[in-house]
Amino acid sequence: MYRVEIPIDRLQQAAIDRRQKLDRERKVRIFDPKTRVMGIDVKALDEQLRIKNEINQFDRERDAAYHKYATYTNQILTLMDDQTAEARKNHLKNMNQFREEYQAPWQGRDFDLVDPKALLKDLPARVGDADPRCGVSGLQQFEGEDLGGKARQGQQKEQMRVWVQRELWEKRKKEADEAEAKRKYEEYQHNAIQNAKREQNKADRQYNEHLAALKKQREAEDHERTLQQNMQEIINSVNGVFLTETPNVTNISGGHKYESRGWFCNVLIFSFRVRVDLFKGITLEQKMEVLQVQAYQREENERKREQARNEEARYALQQASNTRALILLEREKKRQEREAARQMRLTNQEKAVEDRARQNYIDKVLYTNPPTEAYHAQFNTTSR
């Protein structure tokens, strides 16, 4: 819009006319006999009160609308912040999961350049009987050889190591996921505590069932391994020096010896006839070997018992930790309720003190001078 220049004389004259008009209307109201005898203009006061009430009502509606809009805007901003934080968290989680699954060190394109086991993985001079690099003149292949046995065992060990690493990684990932779920669980509001308890109980039950299944499976495997070891021990005992009675001093046929590998030790078995008149029983070396096998079996049994005790202790520690976390949550909830009640009580006390002070000020300070006849006589004397 364009500003319109109005002469100053016209503005002043308009202001003077407006004031004169208001003064004339005021004189009519003041010097009206009816109004002077009967009292104030109730209609005008009612009109003023109505206008004032409308203004107050408009202000309240405007303030309410502003407050509603501010609350709505705050809710939207809070929701957007929560969505942004959740999206950022999901993005970081997906990115870390992608790195763990597809960007592992051994999956790198140049990992073979820095692989510490590159020499172990390198192709040897001879792979096996079917190696085309071995010719007839090299004298590398003979009937009855099993040259691929060591390579096969190495591959099996490497595969076992990869499986163990995979299981360890899954176990650590599971523990990390459980820690993240527990942290989220501790941040829940009061209205979600009961649901979280039920979910935790369900997860504990499933975890216990899983542990029980693993324990049963481990016990079955230990039992099967024990049976195999016992059977192998029986076979070693039958074919060993304990029952065949083949000491070196009784070798009268020039027999040969070969090596038998068992579960616990390597036994040298000699194939020859025994001279009964020279046989003196088992040798000291054979006795020491038996003692070594027995000591190893005792250590193995002690290790199994120690592993079982550690597993039971870890399970008991997990149960105690869950119980302690629930107790701490209940205590924190009760403490917050007591603190809120105490704050409400202090607030009410402060408001009561303020109300008493304000009423005392009104009764004893503000309204201590009642109006007299002289006060009323000073009105309605002039137009002003």
Max CA distance (Å), the chain: 163
Residue with tokens 């006390």: 349
> Which burial class, exposed, middle or buried, applies to 289 when counting CB atoms under 10 A from its CB (0-12, 13-18, 19+)?
buried
State the DSSP code for 260. Answer: E
In-domain check, residue 182: no
- Residues 129/145, Cβ–Cβ less than 8 Å: yes
- Residues 193/329, Cβ–Cβ less than 8 Å: yes
The answer to whether the Cα torsion of 147, 153, 156, 162 is positive or negative is: negative
In-domain check, residue 29: no
Residues in the chain, pLDDT under 70: 1-8, 32-41, 125-126, 128-129, 135-138, 141-148, 188-192, 196, 237-283, 286, 380-384
Region of 305 please: left (phi>0), alpha (psi -120 to 50) or beta: alpha
In-domain check, residue 218: yes
Q: What pLDDT sits at residue 39?
A: 61
Tell me the pTM: 0.22
Q: Say how many domains are in the chain.
A: 1
In-domain check, residue 381: no
Picking from 189, 124, 112, the residue whose alpha carbon sits closest to that of residue 150 is 124
Rg (CA), the chain: 50
In-domain check, residue 267: yes
Q: What pLDDT sits at residue 282?
A: 62
Q: What pLDDT sits at residue 208?
A: 86
Distances (CA, A) of 250 to 103, 271, 286: 65, 11, 15
Amino acid identity, residue 114?
V
- Residues 197/325, Cβ–Cβ less than 8 Å: no
Alpha-carbon span 135 to 251, nearest angstrom: 40
Angle between helices 193-239 and 284-361 (to 10 degrees): 170
In-domain check, residue 226: yes
In-domain check, residue 371: no
Alpha-carbon span 291 to 287, nearest angstrom: 6
In-domain check, residue 149: no
Distances (CA, A) of 11 to 18, 20, 171, 248, 304: 11, 14, 89, 141, 108
Q: Which residues contact 49 (CB under 8 A, 6 or more apart)?
A: none
Range of the domain at 223: 197-321
Alpha-carbon span 285 to 167, nearest angstrom: 42
